[in-house]
A and B are shown apart, each in its own frame.
Chain A
Amino acid sequence: MSDTFFSAPPRWEWLIIWYFFLGGIAGGSYFLVALLDLWGEPEDRPTVRLGYYVAFVAIVLSGLLLVIDLSRPARFWHMMIMPDRGRLMFKYWSPMSFGSWIVLGFGGLASLAALVALEEEGRVRWSPLGRLRRGVPGIILTGLGGLSGILVAGYTGVLLSVSNRILWADTDLLGVLFLLSGTSTAAATLILLSCWRGTGAAAVQWLSWLHSRTLVLELLVLAALVVSLGSVARIWLSAWGGLLVTGVVFIGILLPLVLHARPRLLGHLNVVAGAVLVLTGGFLWRVVIVLSAQQI
């Protein structure tokens, strides 16, 4: 019997499930459009801006969810500054400490990127923002933001594993799976919003191509994760396992892959349907991994 059965559940529930979902979208979105920003074409600009707006809104919501979930929300700043000494509080070896700084830093970068995007669209007139869009400053902002986006999307899985909780602390693959899932849900979000606005067809084509590959990687890593759990995976011989197989694997990965392979299956609804399925599956994955580990 795994020793992780003797730990206690931290009671991270729906607020944290939604945070994992939105945080993954925030980080994944910035990472994806950072690639487009640095190596894309001029016609990708609307999608790039869309990605920065999505990242900004999603990370702000994420921050709010995290603060509200604390048992003492007004003390959230204690993770940044030591209340008794006024010194900086940072433990790079604690994903919770590291993550709180990453979310803060990424929030700042996403806000800046969204402002720069607004300036590009002419909705905000402030020339220093324009200077941040071009040349070396632009590359630095995009690069740093893209890297922080990866960290935001992936650190949460690492945080779950750096514990002693059943399931979470029985594998090393949660970090990479959260990163992949964050990227695929972000791509789905950008695809959906682009279709709704009717812009960025070329970017949607790239996102769809990347999306299908990411889904295959997710499936492989999920299978490897179940194997890495060993006998602890028996916990999922239950309704949770049923939800994992039907909601996460079938609805969230296999069906979208079928739709990718058969682009004319649902006609003009194909792309949108695929994106909705992926978002549903991504959300259900977080429901399963967070709640199934805390019912024992």
Chain B
Amino acid sequence: MAQALGFFTDTTVCIGCKACEVACKEWNQLPATNGGANTLSGDSYDNTRRLDGIHWRHVRFVEQFTPDRSEGRWLLMSDVCKHCVQAGCLEVCPTGAIIRTEFDTVVIRSEVCNGCRDCIAACPFGVIEISPVSQTAQKCTLCYDRLQAGLEPACSKACPTDSIQFGPIDQLRRRARSRVQQLHGQGETRAYLYGADENMLGGLNSFYLLVDQPAVYGLPTNPQLPSRHLAWSTAFSALGAAVLGLFGLLGLRKRRMEAIAARQEAARV
């Protein structure tokens, strides 16, 4: 495999300009929401609302202000598919449409997908949705086509503050760790990395530097693979089947015994 490539997103330098959303839509020719007649969400400056089939980048705006608004901060974060090393979507896909590329990214092959939507339920981050254009599941491809041509993804290219950094994962992790050190040194002790090691789904190839709890950014604290339920669910079902079968046979035996007793009673009479 070629090098593992991905994103390191330093949310402390994001300015919420949404250049990443625009660049992604332009490069991937994704349509505007509702033909351009989008409605305001009422959620700060976020009118994209969530990642879905035609939104593969989504900038979150979290306003944290005191009631009198004298103190506060903005938490800005460009959400995207995490390209998990252990990907739940890939795990469940029944058509093999979801693959891992030579860049260790996770891509949905739209020409294979039949729209069963199991990946949508499997993704712990709620990233995937059916595209209204193709009627297949679609999400960020980490610009697989651009990577194959030796280019960097559209969003990281467009990001004016280098909040979204692209490169080999090990290099990005080193850079991210030293950035956390720098922030701690400056007094921002809440800074930490999310998904930058193997503890979270084997590592996220799109990992983040955050300054608050994951749930504040709409991220799960400890995302898991769907298969964690496979063994016990199957075991309980097998047990249930055994009990049912046993009851069935007991019932037939009971009926036979009663029929024999009834015949003996009738013979005696």
Contacts and interface: CB of A to CB of B under 8 A. Distances in A.
A82 interface: yes
Contacts of A162: 92, 122, 226-227, 229-230, 233
B27 interface: no
A96 B126 contact: no
Contact of A165 (B121, B221, B230, B244): B121
Interface string B68-110: 0000000000000000000010011111110000000000000
Nearest to A82: B96
B136 A6 contact: no
Nearest to A101: B94
B261 interface: no
A72 B236 contact: no
Interface string A187-222: 000000000000000100110011001100100010
A78 B112 contact: yes
B92 A94 contact: yes
Contacts of A93: 91, 227, 230
A32 B241 CA distance: 11
Contacts of A71: 114-117, 130, 135-137
Contact of B229 (A70, A91, A169, A209): A169
B118 A8 contact: no
A72 B118 CA distance: 13
26 contacts: A3-B224, A8-B52, A8-B121, A8-B127, A9-B120, A11-B117, A36-B252, A40-B252, A41-B256, A71-B136, A71-B137, A73-B114, A79-B94, A83-B111, A89-B96, A94-B91, A150-B241, A158-B234, A162-B226, A163-B92, A164-B88, A164-B224, A165-B121, A172-B232, A172-B233, A214-B247
A6 B244 contact: no
Given A8-B123, A150-B241, A179-B244, A3 B252 contact: no
Contact of B237 (A8, A72, A91, A154): A154
Given A35-B245, A175-B234, A78 B224 contact: no
A264 interface: no
B4 to A, nearest CB: 23
B151 interface: no
A163 B240 contact: no
A100 interface: yes
Contacts of A169: 226, 229
B222 interface: yes
Interface stretch (B160-168, B179-187, B212-220): B212-220
Nearest to A8: B126
Nearest to A67: B114
A217 B239 CA distance: 12
Q: Kindly name the residue among A41, A82, A91, A155 whose own CB sees the greatest number of chain B CB atoms within 10 A.
A: A91
Contacts of B234: 158, 175
B255 A205 contact: yes
Contacts of A73: 114
B114 A3 contact: no
A175 B236 contact: yes
Interface string B111-150: 1111111101111111111100001110000000000000
Given A6-B218, A164-B226, A176 B135 contact: no
A6 B124 contact: yes
A220 to B, nearest CB: 11
Contacts of B202: none
Q: Kindly name the residue among B88, B218, B232, B237 whose own CB sees the greatest number of chain A CB atoms within 10 A.
A: B237
Category for how many chain B residues contact A: 35 or more
Contacts of B118: 10, 94, 96, 159, 163
Given A164-B224, A168-B121, A217-B243, A100 B94 contact: yes
Nearest to B219: A6
Nearest to A6: B220
Given A9-B120, A71-B117, A164 B223 contact: yes
A210 B126 CA distance: 42
B190 interface: no
A9 B123 CA distance: 10
Given A162-B233, A205-B255, A91 B94 contact: yes
Nearest to B230: A162
Given A8-B128, A35-B252, A164 B122 contact: yes
Interface string A229-271: 0000000000000000000000000000000000000000000
A209 B233 contact: no
B125 A35 contact: no
A250 B117 CA distance: 33
B40 interface: no
A281 interface: no
